[in-house]
Every structure is written in C-alpha cells, then in structure tokens.
Amino acid sequence: MPARIQPTARQVRLGAELRKLRDAAGLTSRQAAALLGTNPAQMSQIEAGNAGVSGERVRKLGVQYASADMELVDALVEMATDRTRGWWEEYRDVLPPVFQDLAELEHHATFMRVVGTVHVPGLLQTQEYARAVFAYVVPELPVDELDLRVRHRMRRKLVLSERTVPYEAVIHESVLRTRVADRRVAVAQLDELLSQSERPNVSLRVIPFGVDGFAGAGAMMLYAGGRVPALDTVQRDAPYGSVFLDASAQLLAMRTLFRRVESAALPPAKSRDYIHRLTKEL
C-alpha cells in the first residue's frame, strides 16, 4: 500500500498498538517484517501509521506474536479493515487535522465521558456559543475559517442523536456562569444543556461552587471508550493544541481523575434543577 501523506490519529494508533504487541513478543522490526514477507522499512511505515495493513496481516501478526488478547487483535483487525470515509473528510484540507481526528474518535467511541471546567463541552454547545469561543482565538480567524469551525462543531453534535452513544458530562458551575458572549447566548446555552440532558443516552452533572473537596479545575478532558479497554483514548486541550493520550498508565490516571471529579458533582436530576435556577439568575 502507498505511504500516507498525513495519517489520522486512528491510523497512527493502529500502528502503535501493533508495535506494542511486537515489543511484548520480544521481536525486532526486521523479524516482524520477515513474518509478513516484507522489508523492515515497510514494517516501520506500518507501525508509524504511514502505511496501511490488511486485516489478514494484522491477524497473522497477532498469532505470530502469540498474543493472548484475541479481543484486542479482533479490534485491531476491525481498525485495519475499516474504510469509513465519514463526513469529516470534507474538512481534511481546510481545517487542522485535529478537527478530523476528534470527529473520527467520537464516531467510533463506544462511550464518552467529558469534563468541562473552562468551556461547555463541544458536543453540547450552541452555534452562537461555539462561534464566541472560536472568535476568541489569537490571532483572530478569518470569517470563512470561523464559519467552517462552527459548522464542523455543529455536525459533530449529531453523534449524540445518530449513534446515541452513551455520553456522561460533568461541568463546573463556573462554566455555566461564564458569558462567552452576552446574556442571551448564555441563557440559550443553558437551555440547550437542559434539552440535551433529556436524551436517554446523555447524563449531565454539575459541580456547584459550594461543594467541598473539588480541586480539579484543570481536569478538562474527553475520555472515549474503544471496542476494548486497551483502545480507550483521552483527548485533552493544551496551550499548544489538542493532545491524544493512550498509554495504559495515562488511561488509568484519567479514569481515576474522572471518578474524582464525578464524585463532587450533583446527581443528574439535581443538576437539571440547578441549571434551571441559574437560567433565572443570569
């Protein structure tokens, strides 16, 4: 298969997981290449996500690596053979790659858990709220790119209705009270949260200012479940851009962090009541 110019995060992840299996088996890249009847350079391209690999070859590697986790191997075969060209592909050459990677991650997620301590999570934002957030980028975005980013974010939201993937959101009260634009936009955003929280697959919980034991102001994250736990992924925002985490220690730390943040939040019903009150206060 020809080398990819710019592999997606999902393609890079497949290669990284194959490399982990090879390392666990104690084989070199050259030895693995020999098993597939290819050369070490091609093997390196596969493990870097720069070259595709067939499902048959992935399964063969799983057998040769003597992997005991056949559920993981099956999931990797599925990743290798998935030829989905989702709606996000139309944005490939007009927005930074992270926009497509995030949409693809959400599309394949078996569940999502998100913590919002700065902004309302993207899948729950209104169009005007999203526009205000993107308009705050420095340097300022051209109007056409601003419009593209808003349209992309609104399209992402459909994953909650089209796939009904389980979605748990924990949002701090500071986020709900912050006016990224004006009062009208703020109230409309609270109404949108209430509307989204009525979906059977959406759980929305609020952390009030007055709760004891919350020190997780920097806990913003999206935890996306994979087909098997080893393929879970965490997306976090950083000053230099978005990062994706998938090392087992990182995933464990983020699961623990989510549980701690969640323990400080009100139950869903009380959270909706809390948002109702905030709507009247704004």
- 102-132, pLDDT tens digit by residue? 999 999 999 999 999 999 999 999 999 999 9
Looking at mean pLDDT, say which of 39-43, 65-69, 278-282 comes out highest: 39-43
Asked if residue 22 and residue 130 are part of one domain, the reply reads: no
CA distance 225 to 195: 24
pLDDT band at 238 (very low <50, low <70, confident <90, very high): confident
Please check whether residue 138 lies inside any domain of the structure.
Answer: yes
Task: Give Cα separations from 144 to 89, 133, 140 (angstroms).
Answer: 18, 15, 12
Last residue of a domain, one of 26, 49, 81: 81
* pLDDT, mean over the chain: 94
Q: What are the beta bridge partners of residue 205?
A: 170
- Statement: the pTM of the whole predicted model exceeds 0.75: yes
Boundary of a domain, candidates 28, 47, 81:
81
Q: Does residue 234 have a pLDDT over 70?
A: yes
- Beta strands across the sheet bearing 202-207: 202-207, 167-172, 112-116, 221-224, 233-238, 241-245
In the predicted model, is pLDDT for residue 46 greater than 60?
yes
The last residue of a domain, from among 81, 103, 125: 81
180: phi then psi, degrees, rounded to nearest 5: -70, -20
> Do 106 and 228 have their domain in common?
yes
CA distance readout (Å), 216 to 98, 207, 257: 25, 11, 8
On the question of pLDDT at 4 being above 80, the answer is no
